Amino acid sequence: MQRRLYTGNDPRRAHSIEELRGMARRRVPNFCFEYVEGGSEDESTLRRNRDVFGEIAFRPRSLVDVSKRDIGINLFGRRSNAPFMIGPTGFSGLLSHEGDIALASAAAAAGVPYILSNASTVALEQVVERAGGRVWMQVYMYRTRDFVAKLAARAKKANVEALVVTTDSAIYGKREWDLRNYARPLKLDVRNTLDVLAHPRWMMDVLWPHGMPRFANLGDLLPPGQDSVRGAASALAKELDPSLSWNDIRWLRDLWPGKLIVKGLIHPDDAARAVSLGADGIVLSNHGGRQLDGSVSAMDVLPEVVDEVKGRLAIMLDGGFRRGSDIVKAMALGADAVLVGRATTWGLGAGGRAGVDRAIEILKTEVDRVIGLLGVSSIGELDTRFIEWARLGARQPSHTKQASVELELQ
């Protein structure tokens, strides 16, 4: 009998993130799935984000009592029940009605943080009130800085724990497979229009009776009547600011009293700069392979960044995490936490809140199993002794360089 993944509609029967991905592909129209799935240009960065995990092997220990295990971590002085969180994913309302609420509620129930996308279709105040838990807010540094200041004020009033400023999208990447779904900007071609009609479950969930989802946190930035997912794209594109610099991070740091996390860094020198400007954390990221094609992955640079700034701010990363073993590898290399994006978004597309719950459950169970098989009882015991990776052997950390950077930052 030939092997095959589960092909039904019940996310509770999925055994892996890949099975949830398949369910999402069947449930939502192609243009929605492709928005989540695709990367930029030849998608070499997208592939690199996954390929890097295959280069890293485990070195387990045996005869260790692992009957009691704890996969929780301490992040910004508070316990998180797993070493990962849900990262910001835009347009979640296109996958399931009030998708942002489903993601945030599932994260709260699991005891992990949730980062609300700047391009969410539910207002941040509603997400915080209805979902509870630890809600962080993603922000882009738009040309209209007054809007950014007002969004930060809203977040403060709503008791949002952290702002996560995304820095790698001052210029849009070219996501060709996404573009091919449209006859002209944001007008589906005939093939994709017919494909929408072939997904009645999605239409009943997302389009009826609510209509096309609308951006709930961008109203002050958009022209009147242009807050729909379809109508806002051109206005948002004009708001992207190629002049974005570290001065803008300094401005936001002075403005925002809560935790400030800089997302989109991929170079150790930038990590050190974030320390000097008072950031509380960084997210190493190449935007899920959706921006610069041919980039290194966050995992590639993680060891260097750990050498540079470990202990001076929280080191987080995203990009290609599909298994609990991927998350454990990052933690063993010195990460403080991992962000997952597509994994939980596929869960959302597969079955709404139930699909997100299942995605989180799968990852938590896998992390627990992996650390037990490695011979450790908690995430805090992990380090590079449990990892075999040629890059580690070839790396020669420069203590002299690190010392010079520390002097420069004083």
Residues with catalytic roles: 287
Please give the C-alpha separations between residue 137 and each of 113, 166, 261, 376, in angstroms, as whole numbers: 11, 10, 10, 33
169 assigned binding-site residue: no
263 assigned binding-site residue: yes
Instruction: Show Cβ contacts of residue 342 under 8 Å, excluding neighbours closer than 6 positions.
Output: 21, 36, 37, 89, 288, 322
121 assigned binding-site residue: no
d(CA 244, CA 370): 41
319 assigned binding-site residue: yes
d(CA 83, CA 284): 15
172 assigned binding-site residue: no
88 assigned binding-site residue: yes
Q: Which two tokens stand for residue 201?
A: 């479950």
> Is residue 355 within 8 Å of residue 27, measured between CB atoms?
no
219 assigned binding-site residue: no
> Is residue 349 within 8 Å of residue 27, measured between CB atoms?
yes
Q: Taking each helix axis from N to C terminus, what angle separates 324-332 and 44-54, rounded to the nearest 10 degrees?
A: 80
| Radius of gyration for the alpha carbons in the chain, expressed in angstroms and rounded | 21
386 assigned binding-site residue: no
185 assigned binding-site residue: no
- Please give the backbone phi and psi of residue 204, each rounded to the nearest 5 degrees, phi first: -70, -30
345 assigned binding-site residue: no
d(CA 252, CA 79): 26
285 assigned binding-site residue: yes
89 assigned binding-site residue: yes
175 assigned binding-site residue: yes
> How many other C-beta atoms can be found within 10 angstroms of the C-beta atom of residue 106?
27
Q: What angle do CA 172, 287, 366 make, to 5 degrees?
A: 155
d(CA 165, CA 167): 6
250 assigned binding-site residue: no
d(CA 280, CA 269): 16
342 assigned binding-site residue: yes
Known binding residues for FMN: 88-90, 117, 138, 166, 285, 318-322, 341-342
Known binding residues for glyoxylate: 35, 140, 175, 263, 287, 290
Known binding residues: 35, 88-90, 117, 138, 140, 166, 175, 263, 285, 287, 290, 318-322, 341-342
